[in-house]
A and B are shown apart, each in its own frame.
Chain A
Amino acid sequence: EVQLVESGGGLVQPGGSLRLSCAASGFTFSSYWMSWVRQAPGKGLEWVANIKQDGSEKYYVDSVKGRFTISRDNAKNSLYLQMNSLRAEDTAVYYCARSSIYSYGSIPFDYWGQGTLVTVSS
Protein backbone atom coordinates (compact mmCIF):
# COMPACT_ATOMS: atom_id res chain seq x y z
CA GLU A 1 0.00 0.00 0.00
CA VAL A 2 1.34 3.38 -1.00
CA GLN A 3 1.77 5.70 1.97
CA LEU A 4 3.05 9.24 2.30
CA VAL A 5 3.32 10.64 5.81
CA GLU A 6 4.26 14.26 6.39
CA SER A 7 5.70 15.64 9.60
CA GLY A 8 7.48 18.71 10.91
CA GLY A 9 4.72 21.28 10.82
CA GLY A 10 4.01 23.67 13.66
CA LEU A 11 3.92 27.27 14.80
CA VAL A 12 6.82 29.48 13.78
CA GLN A 13 7.42 33.21 13.99
CA PRO A 14 7.72 35.35 10.85
CA GLY A 15 11.27 35.17 9.55
CA GLY A 16 11.78 31.77 11.11
CA SER A 17 12.57 28.39 9.59
CA LEU A 18 10.99 24.97 9.52
CA ARG A 19 11.85 21.66 7.86
CA LEU A 20 9.08 19.40 6.66
CA SER A 21 9.57 15.69 6.01
CA CYS A 22 7.57 13.18 4.03
CA ALA A 23 8.17 9.47 4.64
CA ALA A 24 7.26 7.26 1.70
CA SER A 25 6.48 3.55 1.70
CA GLY A 26 4.79 0.93 -0.45
CA PHE A 27 6.43 1.93 -3.72
CA THR A 28 9.84 2.45 -5.31
CA PHE A 29 10.44 5.99 -4.12
CA SER A 30 13.41 6.63 -6.41
CA SER A 31 11.26 6.06 -9.51
CA TYR A 32 8.93 9.01 -9.00
CA TRP A 33 8.93 12.76 -9.16
CA MET A 34 7.92 14.13 -5.80
CA SER A 35 6.20 17.39 -4.96
CA TRP A 36 4.99 19.70 -2.23
CA VAL A 37 1.55 21.30 -2.57
CA ARG A 38 0.05 23.67 -0.01
CA GLN A 39 -3.41 24.87 0.92
CA ALA A 40 -3.96 28.01 2.96
CA PRO A 41 -6.89 27.87 5.39
CA GLY A 42 -10.16 27.94 3.46
CA LYS A 43 -8.34 28.39 0.14
CA GLY A 44 -7.46 26.33 -2.90
CA LEU A 45 -4.46 24.21 -3.80
CA GLU A 46 -1.10 25.76 -4.71
CA TRP A 47 1.83 23.83 -6.13
CA VAL A 48 5.03 24.69 -4.23
CA ALA A 49 7.94 22.59 -5.53
CA ASN A 50 8.90 19.53 -7.58
CA ILE A 51 12.00 17.34 -7.52
CA LYS A 52 13.09 14.80 -10.10
CA GLN A 53 13.68 11.16 -9.27
CA ASP A 54 17.42 11.51 -8.69
CA GLY A 55 17.23 15.01 -7.20
CA SER A 56 19.06 16.56 -10.14
CA GLU A 57 16.26 18.96 -11.02
CA LYS A 58 14.23 21.13 -8.68
CA TYR A 59 11.50 23.62 -9.49
CA TYR A 60 9.61 26.13 -7.39
CA VAL A 61 6.64 28.46 -7.56
CA ASP A 62 7.87 32.04 -7.79
CA SER A 63 6.58 33.01 -4.34
CA VAL A 64 8.96 30.62 -2.56
CA LYS A 65 12.06 30.81 -4.77
CA GLY A 66 15.14 31.66 -2.74
CA ARG A 67 13.39 30.82 0.54
CA PHE A 68 12.34 27.16 0.22
CA THR A 69 14.49 24.18 -0.76
CA ILE A 70 13.13 20.80 -1.78
CA SER A 71 15.35 17.75 -1.38
CA ARG A 72 15.10 13.99 -1.14
CA ASP A 73 17.02 11.04 0.26
CA ASN A 74 16.25 7.98 -1.84
CA ALA A 75 18.11 5.71 0.57
CA LYS A 76 15.72 6.78 3.32
CA ASN A 77 12.62 7.03 1.09
CA SER A 78 12.14 10.56 2.28
CA LEU A 79 11.26 13.95 0.85
CA TYR A 80 12.02 17.24 2.55
CA LEU A 81 11.09 20.91 2.36
CA GLN A 82 13.38 23.39 4.10
CA MET A 83 11.47 26.61 4.61
CA ASN A 84 13.36 29.77 5.55
CA SER A 85 12.34 33.42 5.94
CA LEU A 86 8.78 32.32 6.58
CA ARG A 87 5.95 34.79 6.11
CA ALA A 88 2.37 34.89 7.33
CA GLU A 89 1.22 34.05 3.81
CA ASP A 90 3.09 30.72 3.99
CA THR A 91 0.56 29.53 6.58
CA ALA A 92 -1.02 26.43 5.09
CA VAL A 93 -1.38 22.69 5.17
CA TYR A 94 1.55 21.25 3.25
CA TYR A 95 1.03 18.02 1.33
CA CYS A 96 3.59 15.80 -0.34
CA ALA A 97 2.55 13.96 -3.49
CA ARG A 98 4.10 11.67 -6.07
CA SER A 99 3.88 11.80 -9.86
CA SER A 100 4.77 9.60 -12.82
CA ILE A 101 6.06 11.83 -15.60
CA TYR A 102 7.10 10.31 -18.92
CA SER A 103 7.30 11.60 -22.47
CA TYR A 104 4.68 9.07 -23.55
CA GLY A 105 2.20 9.93 -20.80
CA SER A 106 2.03 11.19 -17.26
CA ILE A 107 0.02 10.64 -14.10
CA PRO A 108 0.35 13.65 -11.84
CA PHE A 109 -0.16 13.65 -8.07
CA ASP A 110 -1.73 10.19 -7.88
CA TYR A 111 -0.98 9.75 -4.17
CA TRP A 112 -0.98 12.39 -1.46
CA GLY A 113 -0.05 12.45 2.19
CA GLN A 114 -2.48 13.62 4.87
CA GLY A 115 -0.74 16.99 5.19
CA THR A 116 1.03 18.90 7.95
CA LEU A 117 -0.03 22.34 9.15
CA VAL A 118 2.44 25.21 9.15
CA THR A 119 1.37 28.36 10.98
CA VAL A 120 3.48 31.49 10.68
CA SER A 121 2.50 33.96 13.36
CA SER A 122 3.98 36.05 16.13
Chain B
Amino acid sequence: EIVMTQSPATLSVSPGERATLSCRASQSVSSNLAWYQQKPGQAPRLLIYGASTRATGIPARFSGSGSGTEFTLTISSLQSEDFAVYYCQQYNNWPSVTFGQGTKLEIK
Protein backbone atom coordinates (compact mmCIF):
# COMPACT_ATOMS: atom_id res chain seq x y z
CA GLU B 1 0.00 0.00 0.00
CA ILE B 2 1.21 3.48 -0.84
CA VAL B 3 1.25 5.67 2.25
CA MET B 4 0.57 9.39 1.80
CA THR B 5 1.98 11.74 4.45
CA GLN B 6 0.85 15.36 4.66
CA SER B 7 2.58 18.17 6.46
CA PRO B 8 2.03 20.13 8.52
CA ALA B 9 -0.98 18.73 10.36
CA THR B 10 -2.17 22.28 11.04
CA LEU B 11 -1.15 25.45 9.24
CA SER B 12 -2.00 28.90 10.57
CA VAL B 13 -2.00 31.65 7.94
CA SER B 14 -3.45 35.15 7.76
CA PRO B 15 -5.99 36.07 5.07
CA GLY B 16 -4.27 37.44 1.97
CA GLU B 17 -1.09 35.49 2.61
CA ARG B 18 0.22 32.44 0.76
CA ALA B 19 -0.27 28.93 2.07
CA THR B 20 1.90 25.98 1.09
CA LEU B 21 0.80 22.44 1.91
CA SER B 22 2.97 19.37 1.37
CA CYS B 23 2.24 15.75 0.54
CA ARG B 24 4.74 12.92 0.30
CA ALA B 25 4.18 9.44 -1.14
CA SER B 26 5.98 6.36 0.18
CA GLN B 27 6.77 5.40 -3.42
CA SER B 28 6.45 7.11 -6.76
CA VAL B 29 2.89 7.89 -7.88
CA SER B 30 4.03 9.68 -11.04
CA SER B 31 1.61 12.61 -11.48
CA ASN B 32 -1.43 10.65 -10.30
CA LEU B 33 -2.06 12.89 -7.35
CA ALA B 34 -5.19 14.82 -6.40
CA TRP B 35 -6.03 17.43 -3.79
CA TYR B 36 -9.40 17.85 -2.08
CA GLN B 37 -10.85 20.55 0.14
CA GLN B 38 -13.33 19.74 2.88
CA LYS B 39 -15.25 22.21 5.00
CA PRO B 40 -17.07 21.22 8.19
CA GLY B 41 -20.25 19.29 7.52
CA GLN B 42 -19.61 19.16 3.77
CA ALA B 43 -18.41 16.55 1.32
CA PRO B 44 -14.89 16.86 -0.04
CA ARG B 45 -14.41 18.87 -3.22
CA LEU B 46 -11.86 18.04 -5.91
CA LEU B 47 -9.41 20.89 -6.38
CA ILE B 48 -6.48 19.48 -8.34
CA TYR B 49 -5.84 16.28 -10.30
CA GLY B 50 -2.88 15.10 -12.30
CA ALA B 51 -0.78 16.90 -9.65
CA SER B 52 -1.29 20.30 -11.30
CA THR B 53 -4.58 20.50 -13.23
CA ARG B 54 -7.32 22.53 -11.61
CA ALA B 55 -10.73 20.90 -11.54
CA THR B 56 -13.70 22.64 -13.10
CA GLY B 57 -14.59 25.88 -11.36
CA ILE B 58 -11.56 26.00 -9.09
CA PRO B 59 -10.07 29.50 -8.76
CA ALA B 60 -6.63 30.21 -10.17
CA ARG B 61 -5.25 31.00 -6.71
CA PHE B 62 -5.09 27.22 -6.17
CA SER B 63 -2.10 25.55 -7.80
CA GLY B 64 -0.48 22.15 -7.52
CA SER B 65 3.01 21.00 -8.33
CA GLY B 66 5.31 18.02 -8.00
CA SER B 67 5.72 14.51 -9.33
CA GLY B 68 7.03 11.21 -8.12
CA THR B 69 6.92 11.36 -4.34
CA GLU B 70 6.83 15.07 -3.44
CA PHE B 71 3.85 17.33 -4.05
CA THR B 72 2.73 20.80 -3.06
CA LEU B 73 -0.60 22.62 -2.98
CA THR B 74 -0.23 26.38 -2.97
CA ILE B 75 -3.00 28.89 -2.29
CA SER B 76 -1.61 32.20 -3.44
CA SER B 77 -3.75 34.67 -1.49
CA LEU B 78 -5.96 33.15 1.13
CA GLN B 79 -9.62 34.07 1.16
CA SER B 80 -11.89 33.50 4.14
CA GLU B 81 -13.59 30.60 2.34
CA ASP B 82 -10.28 28.75 1.92
CA PHE B 83 -9.92 27.84 5.57
CA ALA B 84 -10.69 24.15 5.60
CA VAL B 85 -9.06 20.72 5.70
CA TYR B 86 -7.08 19.64 2.65
CA TYR B 87 -6.38 16.05 1.63
CA CYS B 88 -4.01 14.65 -0.94
CA GLN B 89 -4.77 11.34 -2.64
CA GLN B 90 -2.79 9.03 -4.87
CA TYR B 91 -4.56 7.15 -7.62
CA ASN B 92 -1.50 5.74 -9.35
CA ASN B 93 -2.52 2.30 -8.14
CA TRP B 94 -6.12 2.66 -9.31
CA PRO B 95 -8.44 1.04 -8.42
CA SER B 96 -6.70 1.07 -5.05
CA VAL B 97 -6.33 4.65 -3.82
CA THR B 98 -5.06 6.17 -0.59
CA PHE B 99 -5.54 9.53 1.08
CA GLY B 100 -3.22 11.52 3.26
CA GLN B 101 -4.28 12.27 6.82
CA GLY B 102 -5.14 15.87 6.00
CA THR B 103 -3.85 19.36 6.74
CA LYS B 104 -6.09 21.78 8.60
CA LEU B 105 -5.66 25.32 7.31
CA GLU B 106 -6.72 27.75 10.01
CA ILE B 107 -6.89 31.49 10.35
CA LYS B 108 -3.94 33.08 12.09
Contacts and interface: CB of A to CB of B under 8 A. Distances in A.
Given A44-B102, A114-B43, A115-B43, A109 B89 contact: yes
B15 interface: no
Contacts of A26: none
Interface residues of A, number: 25
A114 B43 CA distance: 6
* Interface of A: prevailing SS: strand
B43 A113 contact: yes
A32 interface: no
Interface stretch (A7-15, A16-24, A45-53): A45-53
Contacts of A1: none
Interface stretch (A74-82, A84-92, A100-108): A100-108
Chain B, interface size category, equals 20 to 34
Contacts of A50: 94-95, 97
B32 A106 contact: yes
Interface in B19-57: 32, 34, 36, 38, 42-46, 49-50, 55-56
B87 A107 contact: no
Interface of B: 32, 34, 36, 38, 42-46, 49-50, 55-56, 87, 89, 91, 94-102
Interface of A: 33, 37, 44-47, 50, 52, 57, 59, 61, 95, 99, 101, 105-115
